[in-house]
Structure formats: structure tokens, C-alpha cells
């Protein structure tokens, strides 16, 4: 009998709530912290975080100090704890491929749930537009997709403006952005394209998406440039694979 009791005790993962998920306090019954510490697969599915990025977090983001990426990481952490979210202010993370823009955006989404119980939404811009276009051909409901994007308390739009868009795509993006702007719902944007030109011959978001979208984004996001080298290419393992491929083809 004692052996069975000890076995049951060992299976309890949370001593605060005995795995019930709830704690009795003077104020009443509240959800146990253990329920907020776990990002379950179902929750990650609901947030639409891609499997490739589900293990990403602030703690495993490795900033390159020579490019001041540690300052960007500090800013991302500070955003989670600031009042900017309540005021509808978001972030526009710009930089070349492989510097960790999506890593940081996903980390922000996850931290908002862990610290503020906010369940945000991740959408790759191209996939979102493809899904919406497919509804015009009778596959699914475009209204449901749009409502999900418009209603999310925090939205990540990944890879915005990385390719030229049709007038239809620009109209859809403008509709999403203006609705979130009016409702003071922030957006976290990642892009290879800068929000504003730094050189006369440089292409910016206005060139890609039009002046109306660029104007709203300048008002509702903070522009943060992430400098650095492509970590995917500079990865020693990837380099070795590339060198082996070159040797085979030579």
C-alpha cells in the first residue's frame, strides 16, 4: 500500500496544485502558475508558430555583440514588459536574412503568453495571402482567416515586403493593417526591406507596398534594424555540407 502511495506522489509534477491546475486563495480559485509556464503543442498550434521555431526563445537567441544584437534582444525583452502593447505600438524588425528576426518575433509571442497570458498569432505574409487567395477558388472561408488575423491581440507578420505584391495583395495587407491600427492592436513585423530609405537608390517598404501602408506602419511600429551575417550560412555544419557538395561537383 505504501509503495503505491509513494508511486502516486512521484508522478505529481506540480506540488502547488497537485496537477489540478487550480489553487485556492483568499481571493478565490485561481489558475496555477504551472498552467502558464507550459506552452503546449495545442497552444503553439493555436498561435500558428511553425515547428521550426517552436523551440526558439529569448534564452537561446545568441546575439553577436559586434553587431550590437544584444541591444536588440534587450529591446525585445523590454517590449514584453512595457505599456506599448496596450497603446497599440508594435515593432518592425528589419535586417538581412539569417540575423534572427523571426526567432525574436516568435520569442516575443511566447513571452507575451508566459508573462501576460496574451495568446498571439504568427502568420507568414506569403502563406497568409496564398490562403486568402485560395478561398476565392472555393477552398475554405476567407472571412474566417481575416477574422483570426484581425482579432488576434498580438499579430506577427513574418517576411513582409520581401517580394513585389499585386494590387490585390496590397489591398488585403492595407485592410489588415488599418483595422489593427484603428483598434490599437499591435503588430510585430519582420522584413528584409527597410521601413524607410537610408540611401536614394535603396528600396523601402513604401516602394514595395505603397505609401498608405508605409505611413501606417511608421506610426504604429518602432523601426529596429538588426545587423549581422547570415547565421544559416555561417553555421560551421552548413559550411562543411556546402564544401562537401562543392568537392563532389568539382
pTM listed for this prediction:
0.77
- Class of the CATH domain delimited by 39-229: alpha beta
Sequence ranges of the chain with CATH classification 3.40.50.300? 39-229
**Beta strands of the chain (E only): which ranges?**
22-25, 28-31, 90-94, 121-124, 155-158, 187-191, 221-225
CA 118 to chain centre: 13
Q: What are phi and psi of 59, to 5 degrees?
A: -70, -30
Contact (CB, 8 A) for 144 and 152: no
Indicate the helix (H) or strand (E) that contains 132. helix 125-135
Cβ neighbours of residue 151 closer than 8 Å, sequence gap 6 or more: none
How many Cα atoms within 13 Å fall on the side-chain side of residue 230?
A: 7
C-alpha cell of residue 231? 547565421
Residue for cell digits 494590387?
167
Q: What is the DSSP letter of 53?
A: G
pLDDT (tens place) for every residue of the chain, 250 residues total: 444 444 444 466 677 787 776 788 776 776 666 655 567 888 999 999 999 999 999 999 999 999 999 999 999 999 999 999 999 999 999 999 999 999 999 999 999 999 999 999 999 999 999 999 888 766 667 789 999 999 999 999 999 987 778 899 999 999 999 999 999 999 999 999 887 787 888 888 888 888 888 899 999 999 999 999 887 665 554 444 444 444 544 4
Q: Which DSSP symbol is given to 214?
A: H
Q: Copy the grid coordinates of residue 211.
A: 505609401
Amino acid at each position: 500500500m505504501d509503495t503505491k502511495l509513494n508511486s502516486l506522489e512521484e508522478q505529481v509534477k506540480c506540488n502547488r496544485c497537485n496537477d489540478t491546475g487550480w489553487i485556492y486563495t483568499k481571493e478565490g480559485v485561481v489558475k496555477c502558475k504551472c498552467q502558464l509556464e507550459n506552452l503546449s503543442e495545442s497552444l503553439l498550434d493555436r498561435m500558428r508558430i511553425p515547428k521550426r521555431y517552436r523551440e526558439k526563445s529569448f534564452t537561446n537567441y545568441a546575439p553577436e555583440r559586434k553587431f550590437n544584437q544584444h541591444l536588440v534582444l534587450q529591446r525585445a525583452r523590454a517590449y514584453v514588459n512595457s505599456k506599448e502593447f496596450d497603446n497599440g505600438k508594435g515593432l518592425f524588425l528589419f535586417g538581412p536574412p539569417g540575423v534572427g528576426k523571426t526567432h525574436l518575433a516568435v520569442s516575443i509571442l511566447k513571452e507575451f503568453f508566459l508573462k501576460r497570458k496574451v495568446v498571439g498569432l504568427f502568420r507568414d505574409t506569403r502563406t497568409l495571402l496564398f490562403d486568402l487567395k485560395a478561398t476565392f477558388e472555393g477552398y475554405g472561408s476567407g472571412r474566417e482567416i481575416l477574422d483570426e488575423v484581425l482579432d488576434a491581440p498580438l499579430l506577427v507578420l513574418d517576411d513582409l515586403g520581401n517580394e513585389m505584391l499585386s494590387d490585390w495583395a496590397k489591398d488585403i495587407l492595407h485592410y489588415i493593417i488599418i483595422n489593427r491600427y484603428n483598434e490599437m492592436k499591435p503588430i510585430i513585423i519582420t522584413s528584409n526591406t527597410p521601413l524607410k530609405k537610408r540611401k536614394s537608390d535603396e528600396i523601402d517598404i513604401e516602394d514595395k507596398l505603397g505609401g498608405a501602408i508605409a505611413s501606417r506602419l511608421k506610426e504604429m511600429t518602432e523601426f529596429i534594424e538588426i545587423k549581422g551575417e547570415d547565421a544559416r550560412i555561417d553555421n560551421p555544419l552548413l559550411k562543411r555540407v556546402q564544401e562537401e557538395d562543392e568537392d563532389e561537383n568539382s
